Amino acid sequence: MTTHGTPDGAHTPMNDEHGSTAVRLDQGHIQGTGGIPAQFQNPGLPPHVERMSDIDPKAAKRAELQVASMFILSILGSLACLVAYFVIPTHQQIWIPAIENGNLSHLAIGLTLAISTFFIGAGAVHWAKTLMPDQEVVEERHPLHSTPEERQAFARALAEGDAAAQLSRRPLLKMTLAGALGLFAIPPIVQLVGGLGPLPGDDLSTTFWDSKYWTNGKAPRLMRDPEMTPIKASDVTIGSVFHVLPEGIMDSEHPLDEKGKAAVLLMRLHPDQIKSQKERDWGYHGIVAYSKICTHVGCPVGLYEQTTHHLLCPCHQSTFDVTDDCKVIFGPAHRPLPQLKIAVDAEGYLIAEHGFAEAVGPSFWERG
């Protein structure tokens, strides 16, 4: 239903199929034949005053250009945010009052996103206040059952609302709004994807245990963590557990990154308890070494149950059987912990004959 304007600013209501009437709330009296409950007869609103954009086409065009300008400023803010993200180094500092050092990249991204957000909101508000209808109407409720005629009436109402919002009449607003909203979504997506860091590639398949990191072609010894002292086979008793790292890892270019991949648990079982022949071959007289990084999401597997010979990840309770290639017996992990092949050198110290045969850490997505 619609109301039609008259020269004095009042509106004549139109009856719908049910005989109810859309009535202007600011008239102070009942219009039409539908009737209004007494509590709504005089809400005390002042008479409706037409805006300049309602009666002057030039004023309406001026308001349209103002709204479009705000959307364009939002577009420029989004583009500037993308430029700041890719161009300004993340480590570059800037002096800011009350802050000793500020990050220029973060400041630029924050300011440009604020500009983009502000002008989308400001444009929408200005559009609503200057170009969209501002009459307040009330309608008596009729039965909620929708007949075909009512659905047709609803479609007509939507079409009239679209016409009132002037989207079809003002393509400039439609294009600039679409551009502002579309570009506004790009900077957060780019920052989210870029902030997750680079894809691992084959990084998880290469650890500091691999031969390319050996010094003078010499297999690295297993070192206690954090003491970084070598371990003799005779030091490892049945039931004991050692957290170990490869020899020389602290002298690497990125020791923390390398430690995150190369951490290993070393323990000794009675040889008769080992079920897997491969585990026997890769161990030494019951001493076995497995990656400490859980194959679920990479948490440290640091809990060893001596009586059951199970390794437990404390994050999500994935449980691995040390007597059977560290296969998963419980929890969300999809594959066993990778085993490190060990031996002893001429002095009786434990060494790693070669690196892991498969990637450490969380399962690759293609493994399922």
d(CA 200, CA 198): 6
pLDDT, tens only, 221-233: 999 998 999 999 9
Q: How confident is the model at residue 77 (pLDDT cuts 50, 70, 90)?
A: very high
State in Å, rounded, how far the first CA of the chain is from the last one: 57
Q: Partners of 310 in the beta sheet?
A: 305, 321
Task: Determine which of 89-103, 223-237, 310-324 has the lowest per-residue pLDDT on average.
Answer: 89-103
More confident residue, 137 or 162: 162
More confident residue, 209 or 143: 209
- Residue range 277-296: average pLDDT? 92
- Residue range 186-202: average pLDDT? 70
pLDDT reported for residue 221: 94
More confident residue, 260 or 288: 288
pLDDT reported for residue 282: 93
List of domains in the chain:
3-195 (no CATH), 203-367 (2.102.10.10)
Task: Determine what percent of the chain is predicted with pLDDT higher than 90.
Answer: 39
More confident residue, 193 or 318: 318
Q: How confident is the model at residue 141 (pLDDT cuts 50, 70, 90)?
A: low
pLDDT, tens only, 297-306: 889 998 888 8
Residue 10 has pLDDT above 50, yes or no: no
pLDDT reported for residue 101: 52
- Residue range 99-124: average pLDDT? 84
Q: Partners of 242 in the beta sheet?
A: 266
Q: Which residues of 300-316 are buried (b: 16+ CB within 10 A; e: fewer)?
A: ebeebeeeebbbbbeee
pLDDT reported for residue 118: 96
Structure tokens at 24: 């202007």
More confident residue, 45 or 301: 301
Q: How confident is the model at residue 29 (pLDDT cuts 50, 70, 90)?
A: very low
